[in-house]
Every structure is written in C-alpha cells, then in structure tokens.
Amino acid sequence: MLSNVMTSALRATAALTLMAGLSTAAVAETAEGYWQGVQKSGTLRCGAAVAPPYVMRDPASGEYSGFYADLCREFAEVLQVKPEFVDTTWDNIVAGLQAGKWDVSLALNRTPARAMAVQFSIPAMEYQISLAYNKDNPKVPAGATSVTDIDKADVTLAVMSGTAQDKAISAAVKTATILRLPTNDETRLALVSRRADILVDASDTNQLFTQSNPDWAVALNPTPALAKQGVSFGLPHQLSAADVEVVDIFLEERVATGHVEGLIRKAVDEVLKASN
C-alpha cells in the first residue's frame, strides 16, 4: 500500500515537473523585450525638453532639431518605427518617463537621484556647468575661479528650473539669490536685461551664448567643477539589461565613429546661424 502511494506521488511529481518545464519554455518563447513592444506599436516616443544644442524646437513649425533629436530619429530608424516627440519640461522629464508617457527621455544628465527613478544609457557626451556673465559687471570679481568667488548676497544667478544645473548650483550656493525660470530663453533674457548677474548653464550652451555676444559675454568653468556628468538617454526603470544594451550598442558605435560629434557640430552651427 505504502509502495503504491509513493509510486503515485513520484508520478505526480514528475508530471508537475514536466508541466513546469513546458510552462517555463512557453514563457521564454513568448516573452519579448521592451523594444519589441515599441516595434509593435510602430512609434518611438521621445520626451523632449528644450535645451540648445541638445534639443531645439521651432516655435512656428513645431519641428524638433538638435543632436539628441537627431539621435531619437536614428534610434527609431534602427527599430524601424516612426519617431514621435513629446513636448515636456525639465521639471517633468523624469516623472513623465516613470509614468510611461514616452519611451525615452532625451539629453538626460546621469545623476544618482535620477538613477533611483529611471535607468540611463551610456553617455553620448560629457557635460559640465559654466557661469556666463557680463565682463563689465562689477559684482563678478575679475579673478573669479570658483562658485565661492561669486556667492555674494547682492548676486543673482539665473538657471532653468528642474535641470541638472539647477540642482548643482542650489547645492553649492549659500548666500547668492537663485532665480529659477522655466525656459532657456528666459534665463538668457534675465542676464541680457540684467535681472540676473550670472547665467548658470551647460558649458557648451553657454559657449554658444558667449559666441553670439562676444562684445560683453564671457563664461567661467568653475574650479572645482560644479558638475561633470554624462548626457544620456533616460530609460524606463523596468527595462532589462538586454533592453538597455540595445541602446548602449547603438550609441557606442555612433560615438566611436565620430558621428555624434558631427551631429553636435551641426546643432551648434544651427544655433549660431539663428542668433546672427
């Protein structure tokens, strides 16, 4: 009797094991990565917050340009889908990705705080923050080299709200006033109109600004650096390592061949042409 029970139990166990194996195999066969889902939808949604030369938007046509907009189009081409740009702000670019409003966030700085909410691709370029100002402004010392040199009670710094430069300058400044504005154009206008004494922005963006205003504008890369980070695609937190690798391989090849550098030069030329 005991032998029969044991035999039945063994048979049942074997059957369950076989069923589990078949079930696992079926799941493995039907499981698909994130990008396969994007391919089925036919559209790659790219969250885009304006910050020249990374991402630009023509106010008349609504067309996007800039080297990260170009990379969005190229990645969509790799996936054989259409690119779709979803307009957002730097305050919302992480939250929108978390909420599934788009598939990738463009030109997102890699920070530990953001990494707790989203994933990142490898960087397409390195980023640091500079301080642009009027060389005749007496509030900015002639020999200024650090944030400490300009962190004075009568100094106002303009920065785009929610950006990496906002977080970096907010952590570094103890005394000066920080003027947070929603767009890049508004921060520049604040400096031009002397509502602000210093414009805090990415070094390449400030370089464009000073090249457009050579008579009076200068920029300082502070020592020690305010921030030095990679600029990447922001990716949904739930992506598998294999899904992330797809984007990494895409970027790795384009960076190594100098293609990204060429896209950056094209974007910079576009900005300079528009400012002349």
Let me know if residue 6 belongs to a domain: no
Let me know if residue 211 belongs to a domain: yes
C-alpha–C-alpha distance, residues 241 and 119, integer Å: 10
Let me know if residue 1 belongs to a domain: no
Q: Is the pLDDT of residue 12 over 80?
A: no
Is the same domain home to 210 and 138?
A: yes
**Interval 134-177: pLDDT, tens:** 999 999 998 899 999 999 999 999 999 998 899 999 999 999 99
Please give the structure tokens belonging to residue 232.
């990447």
CB atoms within 10 A of CB 186: 15
Is the same domain home to 215 and 245?
A: no
Is the same domain home to 145 and 87?
A: no
Cα dihedral sign, 142-189-92-237: negative
Is the same domain home to 135 and 271?
A: no
pTM over 0.85: no
Contact in structure between 276 and 269 (CB atoms under 8 Å): no
Q: Give the 3-state secondary structure of residue 28.
A: helix
Average pLDDT, the chain: 88
Find the mean pLDDT for residues 38-42: 97
Let me know if residue 267 belongs to a domain: yes
For residue 53, the enclosing domain spans 34-125+229-275
Q: From 228, 244, 263, give the residue that closes a domain.
A: 228
Is the same domain home to 155 and 221?
A: yes
Closest to 203 in 3D by CA, of 189, 183, 186, 223? 223
Q: What is residue 195's predicted lDDT score, i.e. its pLDDT?
A: 97
Is the same domain home to 224 and 182?
A: yes
Let me know if residue 187 belongs to a domain: yes
Is the same domain home to 120 and 233?
A: yes
Report residue 212: phi and psi, to 5°.
-80, -20
Q: What is residue 31's predicted lDDT score, i.e. its pLDDT?
A: 54
**Interval 170-226: pLDDT, tens:** 999 999 999 999 988 899 999 999 999 999 999 888 988 998 899 999 999 999 998
Let me know if residue 18 belongs to a domain: no
Is the same domain home to 94 and 158?
A: no
What CATH code is carried by the domain that includes residue 180? 3.40.190.10
Is the same domain home to 142 and 265?
A: no
Let me know if residue 38 belongs to a domain: yes
Please give the structure tokens belonging to residue 196.
């602000």
Let me know if residue 2 belongs to a domain: no
DSSP string, 107-167: EEE--HHHHTTSEE---SEEEEEEEEEETT-TTS-TT--SHHHH--TT-EEEEETTSHHHH
Is the same domain home to 111 and 246?
A: yes
Closest to 124 in 3D by CA, of 256, 228, 251? 251
Q: Is the pLDDT of residue 19 over 90?
A: no
Count of domains for the chain: 2
Is the same domain home to 160 and 182?
A: yes
Q: What distances in angstroms separate CA 56 from CA 76, 106, 164, 186, one per listed residue?
A: 18, 11, 18, 15
